[in-house]
Amino acid sequence: MEPQQNTEKENSVAKRAAFAGQWRTPPLPVFPTNNSNTMMSTTEINTTTEPTTTTTQQQTTQMLPSSTEDYVKALQEAYLRGAEAAAALAQQQQQQQTINTATSCPEFATQSSSVVPLYPTATPLVTTSTTSMPPPRSLSVTELYPSAAEHAPPTHDEEIKRQKRLARNRASARLRRLRKKNLVDAYEAEVKGLERILQKLQTHVWGHPDSDVALLEALSMERGQLELTGTQRHQAALEIVQQQVEFLSLLQEMMQEQYILYQVATTQTNEEWQELSQLLQLSNEQKEALQAQAAGWHEEYQALQTVLESLQAMRDNHWLWNNGVAEMAEQFMQILHKNQVSKFLSWADHNWDALDELDFTCAPSSNQTGPVFQFGVDSMPTDEK
């Protein structure tokens, strides 16, 4: 029985020593009661291992729990105190926050006592300062659940709007593709038509009677005439005539300058022409070339002079601007299509000799034969020259 009692005593002594080591925790921090955050005093706890002696004096000075249930009760009481103190502190800070109506930044300079480990150590422990918890702050839904806010499920109205927007985008894209396709097809058809006409013009042989049909067909294409009023048409005609007059005037000046060279090369009696020939230092070959070119100069100059005088008369007398001519031409052009107008101009150009025989002042008698007009390509006379 003695060995059993000794073992029980040793177990009880070891238990008490263990309880003594675990129960040596620092005192609970004193929470501040005023608005200012006070620094909690920290103490240094020097724990040293003491010999496990079972004396009556140690049992009387240390009030240790005698059983596990007492130890659990003590812990529950400590936790309850801490919860009450934390609730009181949170309520006090909340009241202070409502009074100040401003969110204060946490003071990271506050300190709290460190926690002593469960098991005692042989060396003394020095407490370290740590920061206190920041005051509680209400968080928004986006801060609590950022992923849910970013990927929130769309509502029914938003889904309907999105579907309508997608439908409009698809329809507009379809129209753009169709418009581009139609433009490309139209351009390709126009280019092919121009290529065929250009090929016909390139293969045309001037003076050959069989090529007139292809030439008239190529020239009867739509020339893109603009819809012009009588005044605009008259102004355009005057501008064209003025441009032709200016061009022929320049050509006349050039021919007059060339005429001086002809005179230098052909005239041998005039002293002035001889002096000019010496200054120019013309060789015999150059003089012969100028004499050969001077043969048809007079005819060309006279033809140029005739055309220039005609254009000047058309410009000064307001060609085709007689009373009623513009109105009659306007009414006639309105009943024709653009292609028909182009063909009519080609027909008028071909039948210019018959149009010149028309008498606008007096109508011919029934016994006289009027001018004969030719319609169609097959009935056109061929050039026998």
> Within the chain, where are the H helices?
2-23, 56-61, 68-100, 141-144, 146-150, 156-202, 212-219, 230-266, 271-280, 284-293, 297-316, 325-334, 338-350, 352-356
Helix (H, G, I), strand (E, B) or coil at 200: helix
Cα 259 to Cα 297: distance, rounded to the nearest angstrom? 8
Cα 355 to Cα 374: distance, rounded to the nearest angstrom? 11
Q: Nearest CA to 131 among 167, 107, 162? A: 107
Six token digits for residue 292: 């050969």
Question: Number of H helices and number of E strands within the chain?
Answer: 14, 0
Cα 370 to Cα 385: distance, rounded to the nearest angstrom? 26
Task: Provide the pLDDT for residue 184.
Answer: 92
Task: Provide the pLDDT for residue 99.
Answer: 76
> Which region holds residue 318: left if phi is over 0, alpha if psi is between -120 and 50, else beta?
left
Residue with tokens 């169709």, as numbered in its chain: 178
Cα 136 to Cα 83: distance, rounded to the nearest angstrom? 16
Q: What is the pLDDT along the chain (385 residues), one digit of tens a residue?
A: 555 555 566 566 656 655 555 445 555 555 554 444 444 444 444 444 444 444 444 444 456 667 788 888 888 888 888 888 888 888 888 888 877 654 455 555 554 444 444 444 444 445 555 556 666 776 665 666 555 445 566 788 889 999 999 999 999 999 999 999 989 998 998 898 888 888 877 877 776 666 666 676 666 655 555 566 767 777 888 888 888 899 898 988 888 887 777 777 776 667 777 777 777 777 778 777 777 777 777 788 888 889 988 888 888 877 666 666 777 777 887 888 878 888 888 888 888 888 888 766 555 555 656 666 666 555 445 554 4
Cβ-Cβ contacts under 8 Å for 314 (sequence gap 6 or more): 241
Task: Provide the pLDDT for residue 128.
Answer: 56
Task: Provide the pLDDT for residue 212.
Answer: 65
E strands along 184-240, which residues? none
